[in-house]
Structures are given as structure tokens and as C-alpha cells.
Structure 1
Amino acid sequence: MSTIAELAVPAAEFALRHTLEATADLDAEIERVVAYDPDHVMPYVWFSGDESTLATADDALADDPSINEAELLTDLDEERLYRMNWVDDVTLIVHLLTEENATVLNAHVEDEGTRWRFRVLFPERDAFSRTYDVATDRGLSVEIRRIHRLEENRHGRIGLTDAQYETLVAALDRGYYEIPRGMDMEALSDELDISHQALSERLRRAHRTLVEELVDVGTVGEND
């Protein structure tokens, strides 16, 4: 079954490290990546920041050893879209696209530009395992943040029912999971127009489903 993995890699071990080091306030997100062959990887990357940050990033690109060429495609007020040719430090992306037929769903920098975070769809679990082995064998410090199977349902909600999904979203939006809580269970049940007991059971089942999917152990018993 298809598997979605969320991975993190230090920016120092991946592409654009020089540019990110030169512009601490820069936000970068990979729009999509095209790999024609292992030596020709062409990503489309959004840079976001104020005018000064974007100007610094543009200058840094010229000296970035991981880039062979960078072409500015779109220049908005605080965003710029580049098409690039990466030549170095892209082992992970190359393997994903050319060897495992994986799809990079999202990739962006976090922790003030010190890490890249990827969300990747693999055609099967073994493809993820091979990718992880290749990355670690070549010295990349790959951190696995989350793994789950892609359930075969039209919503792609990793096994949650519509009611469970909508309840989790409502709980998150209203601060139920914050510390301290922005809304307690009684107030949340009133807003959702269900009983306190029904809300408690729905959340418990949803949490169990998420845990089972994320640790990839499958169903361990009947719903409570």
C-alpha cells in the first residue's frame, strides 16, 4: 500500500544551504521537482520574505555551489518563484524521483532555515525503506517525523471517518489541544451539538486511529 512519510534533513546537508545561511529570514518552499536524470534535477522554488531578504537571497544564489543555474520566473511583492538546476547535494531527491517513483508532496524550510522538511508519497512501504537506507548510507542525517499508510478512500484522511476528521479539525481550530486549553470538552461538545460522552468517545477513537496509522501497526482490536 502507498505510504506517506514526513522527513527532515539538515539544510547543511542538502541543496541551497549557502543561500539559506546567508538569509536567515528567508522562507523557501519547493513547488515541484523534475528529475530528467541523476545529473539533471530541476526544482521550482518559492522564496518568501521582505524586499531586503529577497535581494540578499538573489545575490546568494549566484554563489551557491548546489545550483548550476537559477532563473527568476515570477516576482511578486514578497515572493519570488525560481526555476533552478541543482547539481550537488541532491542525493535524496534524485533517488526519490528516479529510482522509487515517489512524489514530493511538499518540501519547505523550517527552524529558521536550518532544516528541510519533506512530505513524500511512496508507491509502497519498501520504497521508503530503500530511500532511507540510501540516504543514511551516503551520510545524510534523515529524521523520520511521521509515517502512515495512505488509506484507499476518497478523502485521504488516513482511516478517519468524516465525523472524526471534522471533530479533530474543530478541536484544533478552537484551541482544545493548546496548553492551557482554549476550549474545554464541555464547550466543544456544545458547539458541535453532541453530548460530552459522544465527543469523548469520538476523539478517543480518532486518536487511536491516528496512532495506529502513524506507527504503522495496523488495527490492534475493535473500536472502544
Structure 2
Amino acid sequence: MTTVVELGIPADRLGLARTFDRASGFEFQVGGMIGGSPPLVWTSGSDRDSVRRALEADPSVDVIASVADDTGKSSTDDGTAFSQRDRWLFRLEFGDGVKLFEQIVTENDGAILTARGRESQWAVKLLFHDRESVSACHDLLEQYEFGADVTRISGVNDLASARTPLTETQYETIHKAHELGYFDVPRGVTLKELAAELDVSHQALSERLRRSHAALVSAELTDRTAPMEIDP
């Protein structure tokens, strides 16, 4: 049964601990971690310069680029207006803590749905196909001393209730594509090879990937209007 696991992990085990210490009121939200490339990360704090300097001095991340701002009343790409704290978008390369965490999750057939942080604590939401994978992943997290605190475990009959826009078929497609390196640079598998692995036509797979990407992008743009806080 599909299982969603929510974890709290100290920043000194995953990353950004020094940024939390140096940037007053620092919070972040990772825009997505599919494909292994440096993710986009929304940040907030007392001011942009303090956040940028703290990130640049933090040994657990490399600042690849400063991408964009959300200041005062803004709008999403679909035209919806909103008003919230100023936020600044960076592309960050995370260090060994996050990379090991991602490896443990993916090798146990899991996926990272969301990752946010505030007050020196990460809140991550993971998706697994079964409880056995959850148990194996948790054992490894304990073995590597991540200090993970399970805040919620829930079984779902469909992925909508897990707050992910993907259907079961779309999730399985994205998961297999990620597992085989389709999103890597260079790609570890071609679209034709991936279609053969999933036993679908080239055209059907292409359409399925486009719909999956559209669903993920739409959900991310919508999620940008939500306050950055750890789920209860």
C-alpha cells in the first residue's frame, strides 16, 4: 500500500545549519529534487543580503545562482495574486548530507515529495510503495545517525490525498525514469529504452511524461502561495 512518511531532521544532519545560525528568521522550501540536478530553493529571512551571505558561508551548500525575488504582493505564473513575506529564489548544490539522504530514499523505492525548513529543522515528506520499504529506509537513517523523527505515517488509496498531483501511473513512470537515469545529464537511458522498460509505446510514454511534468509544475506554482512552515 502506498505510504506517506513525514520526518523532522535536524539541519546539522542534512544541511543549512550555519545559515539558520547566521540569518535571522531563515526559512526555506525546496522547489523539487527530481533528476539529481541542483534544486531551486525558495528562502526567506530578515533581508536578502543576510540570507545570501549566510548561504555563501555555509559549507553544506554551494550557491549556484540567485534566480528571482518575490517581494510584497506578487503573482504566480497563472496570474493568481498573493501577499506574503519577501522570498528569494536560489539554485543550491547541497552537500553530502542531502546526497546520502536522497540515495537512501531512492534505493528503498521512495521519493521525496517536499522539503522545507525553519528553526534549524528540516521537514520532509516521503512517498513509498509499501511499509517494508519504509522500514528499510528508516533503519538506514538510524544507522547513519540522521536523527530523523517520524511525525506522521499515513496509508493512502490514491496520491491526491498525499498532496501530490501525480496519479499512480504517473508516479510509477517518473520513479522508473529517475531510477534509470532519464533525468540525468547525460541521460542514462533514452526515451525509447524507457518505453520498452515500461512496456508502453514511445508516443504514450512521451505524453505521460508531459502530463506528469505539467502536474508537478502546476502543483509547485500553486504551492508557492503557501506559507513556508513545518507541517504539524
TM-score, normalised on structure 1?
0.60
Note the C-alpha offset of 1:30.
Answer: 1.2
- The 3 A distance-change label for structure 1 pair 136 and 83 is same
Note the C-alpha offset of 1:155.
Answer: 5.1
CA distance in 1, matches of 2:116, 2:103: 17
Matched, 1:87 2:95: yes
CA distance in 2, matches of 1:157, 1:56: 35
1:68-217 aligned at under 5 Å gives the runs: 68-77=62-71, 78-90=86-98, 91-97=100-106, 99-110=107-118, 113-152=119-158, 156=161
Pairing partner for 1:60 from 54, 58, 69 = 54
For 1:8, the equivalent position in structure 2 comes to 8
Residue identity opposite 1:136 in structure 2:
E
Residue identity opposite 2:6 in structure 1:
E
Deviations 1:177-204 (A, max 9, x none): xxxxxxxxxxxxxxxxxxxxxxxxxxxx
CA distance in 2, matches of 1:49, 1:94: 30
Give percent identity, aligned residues only: 23
Residue identity opposite 1:63 in structure 2:
A
Residue identity opposite 1:117 in structure 2:
A
CA RMSD of aligned residues (A): 2.2
Residues 61 and 92 in structure 2, CA contact (< 8 A), matched pair in contact too: yes
Deviations 1:79-105 (A, max 9, x none): 1111111122122223223x1342222
Residue identity opposite 2:103 in structure 1:
V
CA distance in 1, matches of 2:109, 2:90: 24
CA distance in 1, matches of 2:66, 2:162: 36
1:43-58 aligned at under 5 Å gives the runs: 43-50=39-46, 52=47, 54-58=48-52
Residues 25 and 45 in structure 2, CA contact (< 8 A), matched pair in contact too: yes
Structure showing greater relative contact order (alpha-carbon pairs closer than 8 Å, 6 or more residues apart): 2
Deviations 1:128-184 (A, max 9, x none): 1121111110111110101011124x85279xxxxxxxxxxxxxxxxxxxxxxxxxx
How many pairs align? 148
CA distance in 2, matches of 1:155, 1:119: 14
Q: Which runs of 5+ in 2 are unaligned?
A: 72-85, 164-232
Partner secondary structure for residue 53 of structure 2: helix
CA distance in 1, matches of 2:160, 2:50: 41
Note the C-alpha offset of 1:68.
Answer: 3.1
CA distance in 1, matches of 2:121, 2:96: 17
CA distance in 2, matches of 1:102, 1:73: 29
